[in-house]
Structure 1
Amino acid sequence: MTETKAQPDRSTAPVLSVENLTTSFLVDGAWKPVVRDISFTVAPGETVAIVGESGSGKSVTSLSIMRLLQKETSRVEGRVMMGGRNILDLPESEMRRVRGNDVAMIFQEPMTSLNPLFTIGDQISEALLCHRPMSKADARAETIRLLEKVRIPSAASRFDEYPHRFSGGMRQRVMIAMALASRPKLLIADEPTTALDVTIQGQILDLIKVLQEEEGTSVLFITHDMGVVAEIADRTVVMFRGDAVETGNTEDIFLRAKHPYTRALLSAVPMLGSMKGESQPMRFPVIDAATGLPSATAEATDTVQAGRKPILEVKNLVKRFDIHAGLLGKLKGRVHAIENVSFSLQPGETLSLVGESGCGKSTTGRAIMRLIEPESGSVALDGQDVLKMDRRQLREMRRTMQMIFQDPFASLNPRMTVGAAIAEPYLEHKLGTARQAREKVADLLERVGLQADMAARYPHEFSGGQRQRVCIARALALDPKLIVADESVSALDVSIKAQVINLLLDLQASLGLAYLFISHDMAVVERVSHRVAVMHLGEIVEIGSRAQVFENPQHPYTKKLMAAVPIADPTRRHARRNVASDELKSPLRAPNYVPETRRFQQVADDHFVQV
């Protein structure tokens, strides 16, 4: 359903006017500009998006506007006009009144923005008491009203709960409520949906649209997701390496982009439905980091070794976590994280597990690797039951099956060079001498698109995309047949994501690797998968080929996931997807709970749906 939104009134004075903003950081005793001569305006009720990849300067721009950069190591020049005043010239005491009253900010990671020692009610009330004259009782009532406004269920009863009791999506709603507490004229949202599941992201985007219409708030939205830009922005500023390379109406930017970098950025966006009619995974177009131009075109890859025995067979896998409470640790319940999960994986095939956080997809990957011990079921790798292996056999098994984790920085030892990290499994398994290990490391680094001499560097000397390549090289050190990729590209920029996925597809084509690809990014899953399994509350609810699941989804939950994906089409900007605002249901059950036996209906060849 499409609703018409009142157009922003640009005839009146803009809420925000940024003129020739230049921000420099002190590096080795010299000022290095990282944002250069940025100018744009935000009209009353308007949404302006600043889009670009990591390092483009978009977040530095927002922090410069809010004057949140460290004074000793940063220098902000130009003018930032709000209410007829250049806020860069205001004393800090006056700037504190501007923050919250006139402009408020939502940050990317709500858990780091909320104090874990205070209830969410107290934290929102504090913002009210600081900026508006009212009693504590009035502040509590207003806080509950705000929580209801951002669609938090049972708001009054959740006033006294702590941040850790809320899901990621609900914590982000709390941050929005806090930002709206003093009714600011401008809301700056810095990557507010990047780390959220697709359905929660849809809810947050719809919520911002609704609140903007109700309150008339202007929004400065910072993101690297062009799908989000198309859905929410009236105008768009495209940034590349500290410069605004293109500014204009969002529809013009998408349909008639003039700058090569803007066109390249749009071409690299994974779009749901773009694989219709394709039978095989397809590489992404790639943006050259130095020039901002496309450096490769998409092409299909055919790797499945049909007719061969499956490399992996999972049958009736079950994993539950006991929840104890009280002084005596009485069993309170069980989290049914995985419930009777079954699937197989052919050599050279990619099977994707998709679903929201808490659905059990990462637990499935860890149980298959035996990083956690399942309750029951079987996992056969090359015909051998992984769950019955002793420690020596398990060690040998891990030569065949490796895992790539979501956060490459947390996966690498900061005190170990990347060369040593890649060589460690090779040497631990006694596959060769130290000299052979060095040769293997050099070969692997070049294979994943890095230089051999980078082996002497430490993890902090690499970008996020390069660190993920190092982790892929380490996973390849033992020449595995199967790789479990757990959200391995979810936190990467669009062009880095394209490079890493292309690398995985190239390695699959050259080495015949099978992938269990765990993700909540439906557009990426559509691009890389041969088959897809949709998980909900620890169970597979639909499984089939990529074309069957994406072009003919049958289960209501699969349809919900598809409906929530942002689409890079600005003509849909005022549409409401009406994504259900309920949280993902909990898989927590009573200790005596016995799961019901699920039945599956076959709707096509190899396409099964839970009924």
Structure 2
Amino acid sequence: MAGVKTPVLSVKELTTSFLVDGEWKPVVRNVSFDVMSGETVALVGESGSGKSVTSLSIMRLLAKNQSRIEGKISLNGKDVLSLSGKEMRQVRGHDAAMIFQEPMTSLNPIFSIGRQISEALTCHGDMPKPDARKETIRLLEKVRIPNAASRFEEFPHQFSGGMRQRVMIAMALASKPKLLIADEPTTALDVTIQGQILDLIKLLQEEEGMSVLFITHDMGVVAEVSDRTIVMYRGEAVEDGTTGDIFHHGKHPYTRALLAAVPRLGSMAGQKWPLRFPVVDTATGTRSEPVAVADTVDRRKTPILEVKNLTTRFPVRGGLFGAKTGAIHAVENISFDLFQGETLSLVGESGCGKSTTGRSITRLIEPDAGKVSLDGYDVTALDSSSLRRMRRSIQMVFQDPFASLNPRMTVGAAVAEPIVEHHLGTRADARDKAAHLLERVGLKADMMTRYPHEFSGGQRQRICIARALALDPKVIVADESVSALDVSIKAQVCNLLMDLQQSLNLAFLFISHDMAVVERVSHRVAVMYLGEIVEIGPRDAVFGNPQHPYTKKLLAAVPVPDPDRRGIKRELSADELKSPVRPLDYVVPKRSYREIGAGHLVQLEPAA
């Protein structure tokens, strides 16, 4: 019948089970949806909701002996579940292609990127090698990789994260698929690179007319790219509709909880102090309204942390004898203060020096120059025993809580260990304090005998926060401590940090690239670029009146959870972040700052 569209992908009553202890355990149950020609459908939900398992089932990429797929999957008119392995290999590439979250694990490190893309062309299309090389260069140019011809022979490690993801998109497009499945393709990327990749996918979709199944937990991304949205919760599709309807009239309590937890850039306009995140009960949809954090910062007192002209560089060696050929200027001559009860956020993209700053302050990395004063200690001048005492005053919470915890140690022992090691009490005292701290971070004392693998990601991060509090520190360096968490868990952990700050008068150095979260939790913000602070000031001044071009670029790249903005393209340049590697004879230009308002400083361009 004229005018009736047939779906490129049709999924009916999909149930996927895994073999666990001899029994089949369903992890995706009775999921049905269609993706029409040229349409973008978003599968959204948090970790464990079944999004990725759904996509891997569609592509038949799950281990045969450990998984069972039931229902019906029709892809470009083909019954996917009835195809042989050989036939399925032809479907992957021609009919559907997939890009994953971490491109470095998807690319072979020992082959050039040109060879890997060419292989997709020669295997699927029987294309002669010279033609495959020309087509590969055309694809690399299409995904906006600069100097594509000269980069054909380069290897994955020579590309940045954003450029590697572009390579993966080029490879996926090689056989002109009807459907592109994008599984969290921007989660591991910085905000400006994420913006570039989203714009690129939109542009390529328009040019190629392909359909996209976009899998993510980022509701800002969903609003920007999708026509329709399917919300998944505990293996089931609990809501399905146009993206506008889902955002404006979401009915399921989980949908409302997911949307309520999303920090919206600009929502803090007119709000002077940090603001807790609203929390929604996923069972009932009941919402707790956000509460402002009272200001306890007294800037008349001496700062708890003073950083003056901090510089950290790493040697670059080369040649037969490993001679020093240059240096990575990771942190270059930065200065700031931090007061008790205050949150100062360091923001910027990967490689800008945020984490190195945090580690240099705590002397986990030895700085090359500068002065750090912390709670009366001259940090850079301390010997090993004094350094150990100093670390009672400052603790770090890292991005990956699982890597931060010893898998062979119970969480009770992990939280108690600093107290015992610093001789601040007996083992019994340490156990009692550990139980109290676990309760303080929203866990139960009877969880002390469990091991890290028995907890969710959000719970493990709470355990790391409890351990950081064990020594009663005055400063906590939170290094991307919520970046790896799902949106609702992120809101809960941020609320916990703000509550602890209020009750214990803690100072936070909050390191993050998530601008919407930073706007919510900060008193002041420092923007870093290539190891230098280019703008610093009160949160409302930096977000409400950004002055440095790089600050403006960061803010412009943040996805906004508003489906009405779906057609907007940011027109971000595809430039990579410049390299911080400098030759040995490099002379750092003298920097000067202009004061825009009270405490709001912006770096001026050096004189020519």
- TM-score, normalising length from structure 2? 0.97
- For 2:293, the aligned partner's letter is T
Which residue of structure 2 lines up, in the alignment, with residue 6 of structure 1? none
> How far, CA to CA, are the matches of 1:302 and 1:581 in structure 2?
42
Which residue of structure 2 lines up, in the alignment, with residue 403 of structure 1? 396
> How far, CA to CA, are the matches of 1:389 and 1:420 in structure 2?
29
> How far, CA to CA, are the matches of 2:238 and 2:61 in structure 1?
25
Mark the runs of 5 or more structure 1 residues left unpaired by the alignment: 1-8
> How far, CA to CA, are the matches of 2:26 and 2:6 in structure 1?
30
- For 1:500, the aligned partner's letter is V
Which secondary structure state, in structure 2, belongs to the residue aligned with residue 534 of structure 1? Answer: strand
Which residue of structure 1 lines up, in the alignment, with residue 148 of structure 2? 155
Which secondary structure state, in structure 2, belongs to the residue aligned with residue 362 of structure 1? Answer: helix
Determine if the alignment matches structure 1 residue 285 to structure 2 residue 281.
no
Displacement of 1:486: 0.3
Which residue of structure 2 lines up, in the alignment, with residue 38 of structure 1? 31
> How far, CA to CA, are the matches of 1:10 and 1:285 in structure 2?
45
- For 1:128, the aligned partner's letter is L
Count of residue correspondences: 602
Which residue of structure 1 lines up, in the alignment, with residue 294 of structure 2? 302
> How far, CA to CA, are the matches of 1:434 and 1:10 in structure 2?
75
Q: In the alignment, is the contact (CA less than 8 A) between 1:264 and 1:292 conserved in 2? A: no
Displacement of 1:454: 1.3
- For 1:300, the aligned partner's letter is A
> How far, CA to CA, are the matches of 2:465 and 2:445 in structure 1?
15
Which of 355, 359, 375 is equivalent to 1:362?
A: 355
Which secondary structure state, in structure 1, belongs to the residue aligned with residue 65 of structure 2? Answer: helix
Displacement of 1:292: 6.8
Relative distance call for 1:10 and 1:571 in structure 2 (3 A) is farther
Which of 481, 489, 497 is equivalent to 1:496?
A: 489
> How far, CA to CA, are the matches of 1:249 and 1:301 in structure 2?
36
The CA RMSD measured in Å over matched residues stands at 1.2
Displacement of 1:133: 1.4
Residues 594-605 of structure 1 aligned to structure 2 (within 5 Å): 594-605=587-598
Which residue of structure 2 lines up, in the alignment, with residue 566 of structure 1? 559
- Per-residue Cα deviation, 1:308-339 (whole angstroms, up to 9, x for no partner): 21100000001111111110222221111111
Which residue of structure 2 lines up, in the alignment, with residue 208 of structure 1? 201
- For 1:265, the aligned partner's letter is L
- For 1:390, the aligned partner's letter is D
> How far, CA to CA, are the matches of 1:487 and 1:260 in structure 2?
29
Relative distance call for 1:35 and 1:10 in structure 2 (3 A) is farther
Relative distance call for 1:546 and 1:246 in structure 2 (3 A) is same
Displacement of 1:431: 0.5
Determine if the alignment matches structure 1 residue 437 to structure 2 residue 430.
yes
Which residue of structure 2 lines up, in the alignment, with residue 471 of structure 1? 464
- Percentage identity across paired residues of the two chains: 71
> How far, CA to CA, are the matches of 2:217 and 2:103 in structure 1?
18
Residues 111-510 of structure 1 aligned to structure 2 (within 5 Å): 111-288=104-281, 291=283, 293-294=285-286, 296-306=288-298, 307-510=300-503
- Per-residue Cα deviation, 1:522-575 (whole angstroms, up to 9, x for no partner): 000000000000000110000000000000000100000000000011111011
- For 2:115, the aligned partner's letter is D
Relative distance call for 1:54 and 1:180 in structure 2 (3 A) is same
> How far, CA to CA, are the matches of 2:6 and 2:196 in structure 1?
31
- For 1:298, the aligned partner's letter is P
- Per-residue Cα deviation, 1:565-601 (whole angstroms, up to 9, x for no partner): 0001111101101112100011111110111110100
Which secondary structure state, in structure 2, belongs to the residue aligned with residue 71 of structure 1? Answer: coil
- Per-residue Cα deviation, 1:369-418 (whole angstroms, up to 9, x for no partner): 10111111000002321000111110000000000011111111111111
Determine if the alignment matches structure 1 residue 577 to structure 2 residue 575.
no
Relative distance call for 1:103 and 1:166 in structure 2 (3 A) is same
Displacement of 1:58: 0.7
- For 2:235, the aligned partner's letter is G
Which of 21, 24, 44 is equivalent to 2:17?
A: 24
- TM-score, normalising length from structure 1? 0.97
Which of 588, 592, 596 is equivalent to 2:585?
A: 592
Mark the runs of 5 or more structure 2 residues left unpaired by the alignment: none
> How far, CA to CA, are the matches of 1:506 and 1:154 in structure 2?
50
- For 1:293, the aligned partner's letter is G
Determine if the alignment matches structure 1 residue 106 to structure 2 residue 109.
no
> How far, CA to CA, are the matches of 2:443 and 2:107 in structure 1?
38
Which secondary structure state, in structure 2, belongs to the residue aligned with residue 72 of structure 1? Answer: coil
Which secondary structure state, in structure 1, belongs to the residue aligned with residue 4 of structure 2? Answer: coil
- For 1:263, the aligned partner's letter is R
Relative distance call for 1:10 and 1:231 in structure 2 (3 A) is farther
Which of 507, 514, 524 is equivalent to 2:507?
A: 514
Displacement of 1:137: 1.3
Q: In the alignment, is the contact (CA less than 8 A) between 1:303 and 1:508 conserved in 2? A: no
- For 2:485, the aligned partner's letter is L
**83-92 or 599-608: bigger deviation:** 83-92
Determine if the alignment matches structure 1 residue 49 to structure 2 residue 72.
no
Q: In the alignment, is the contact (CA less than 8 A) between 2:45 and 2:51 conserved in 1? A: yes
> How far, CA to CA, are the matches of 2:431 and 2:295 in structure 1?
30
- For 2:596, the aligned partner's letter is V
Q: In the alignment, is the contact (CA less than 8 A) between 2:253 and 2:281 conserved in 1? A: no
> How far, CA to CA, are the matches of 1:410 and 1:154 in structure 2?
38
- Per-residue Cα deviation, 1:212-267 (whole angstroms, up to 9, x for no partner): 01111110000000000000000000111111111111111111112221111111
Q: In the alignment, is the contact (CA less than 8 A) between 2:377 and 2:390 conserved in 1? A: no
Displacement of 1:288: 3.8
